[in-house]
A = this chain, B = another copy of it.
Amino acid sequence: MRGAVMYAPGDVRVEDRPDPRIEQPTDAIIRLTATCVCGSDLWPYRGVEKLEGPTPMGHEYVGIVEEVGNEVTALKPGQFVVGSFWASDNTCANCRNGYQSGCIHRVLMGTIGTQSEYARIPLADGTLVATPEVPSAELIPSYLAASDVLGTGWFGVVAAEAGPGKTVAVVGDGAVGLLAILAAKQLGAERIIAFSRHADRQKLATEFGATDIVTERGDEGVARIKDLTDGLGAHSVVEAVGTQESMLQAMHSTRPGGNVGFVGVAHDVNLPGMDLFMSLVRLHGGPAPVRRFLPDLLDLIGNRTIDPGKVFDLDLPLEQAAEGYKAMDERRAIKTLLRP
């Protein structure tokens, strides 16, 4: 089969890779309908994360079940399925507690690489959620968004305990930040403040439900949030970048007793203890347990309540994956969808 492999920073190639096969009786093989490039794929692309040799890429996926292992009981060939970037058994204590990204048998899909024609999905019964029928083409981008960026933004908002009567601020205007805005709106937040300085992203933020746009960053951004909230700070802040500046901006934008939901993969972040101590905020985040939210999200997409697929503003054949990465790196695209 064909699949994307990163050889070095800036060097992504689509080449022949071995066809996946059932390795464990709990595996399924899916034929990818669509996959995409994640903001986190840009860390190695930009050389911030080290590569250990040529690496198959991708961890977001929707597709059709081709084959299942002997112990798979909930799925059958021909079904359209969505899964998260963690494969999880969905039965262990951590899964039952809603933390499938902390599943004691979890497998990181990024180690498998789903920017490809086919993929092996471990723990298929726990990992994959099937739609009632194979969806029509225009819904594919939204289902694909559910695989990571929508579920991650949604978790950020839940972790930040946003809801009715709350003012929510979102740090980061990438796909996750934008979809956190959509999630905050769905979950009933009263006021949604987007930090963004890019016109195209501001526009999408507003479409998704942002009521205010703040273009300042760092301490100036924090001061603007205070201005907008009687000097107190937001009730809930979603952090969707993962840098030291963005984490501190999120913490300092939150009122005492308020909540920071952080979902940006941390890079060189070291939180000063006294700063955290004096802020009196609640911090929760990490790799999103997307599986917790998938059934509800697939319903909301299927009945056309939400349209998270709008974050894909570049749609390419898998063979042009290199251009998909480049466009995101250069911020010409928010998110690239790839079609095998």
Which stretch of A2-10, A51-59, A136-144, A280-288 is in the interface?
A: A280-288
Q: Which of B272, B284, B289 meets A282, CB within 8 Å?
A: B284
Bound: A164/B282 CA distance, A: 22
Q: Which of B257, B278, B286 meets A97, CB within 8 Å?
A: B257
Bound: A255/B274 CA distance, A: 24
Bound: A277/B280 CA distance, A: 19
Which stretch of A12-20, A199-207, A260-268, A313-321 is in the interface?
A: A260-268
Q: Which of B98, B271, B280 meets A257, CB within 8 Å?
A: B98
Bound: A98/B289 CA distance, A: 30
CB distance from A189 to the nearest CB of B (A): 17
Bound: A279/B102 CA distance, A: 8
Q: Which of B94, B230, B232, B266 meets A256, CB within 8 Å?
A: B94
Report B-chain residues with C-beta under 8 Å of the C-beta of A102: 255-257, 280
Interface centre among A159, A244, A279, A283 (most CB of B within 10 A): A283
Taking A97-B257, A255-B94, A257-B98 as contacts, is the C-beta distance between A276 and B266 under 8 angstroms? yes
Bound: A304/B24 CA distance, A: 61
Report B-chain residues with C-beta under 8 Å of the C-beta of A283: 276, 282-284
Bound: A203/B93 CA distance, A: 33
Bound: A242/B94 CA distance, A: 28
Contact A266 B277 (CB under 8 A): yes
Q: Which of B101, B104, B232, B281 meets A280, CB within 8 Å?
A: B101
Residue A154 interfacial (CB < 8 Å): no
Contact B256 A99 (CB under 8 A): yes
Report B-chain residues with C-beta under 8 Å of the C-beta of A99: 256-257, 280
Q: How many subunits of this chain does the assembly comprise?
A: 2
Contact A93 B287 (CB under 8 A): no
Bound: A269/B242 CA distance, A: 19
A212-248 at interface with B (beta carbon < 8 Å): 230-232, 242, 244, 247
The binding surface of chain A is classed by DSSP as: mixed
Contact B278 A273 (CB under 8 A): no
Contact B273 A267 (CB under 8 A): yes
A279-333 at interface with B (beta carbon < 8 Å): 279-287, 289
A74-99 at interface with B (beta carbon < 8 Å): 93-94, 97-99
Q: What per-residue 1/0 map shows which CB atoms of A161-205 lie under 8 Å from chain B?
A: 000000000000000000000000000000000000000000000
Bound: A26/B326 CA distance, A: 63
Contact B273 A271 (CB under 8 A): yes
Residue A270 interfacial (CB < 8 Å): yes
Report B-chain residues with C-beta under 8 Å of the C-beta of A230: 93
Report B-chain residues with C-beta under 8 Å of the C-beta of A286: 256, 276-280
Report B-chain residues with C-beta under 8 Å of the C-beta of A98: 257
Closest to A262 in B: B277
Taking A93-B230, A257-B97 as contacts, is the C-beta distance between A274 and B269 under 8 angstroms? yes
Interfacial residues, chain A to chain B (CB-CB below 8 A): 93-94, 97-99, 101-102, 104, 159, 230-232, 242, 244, 247, 255-257, 262, 265-274, 276-287, 289
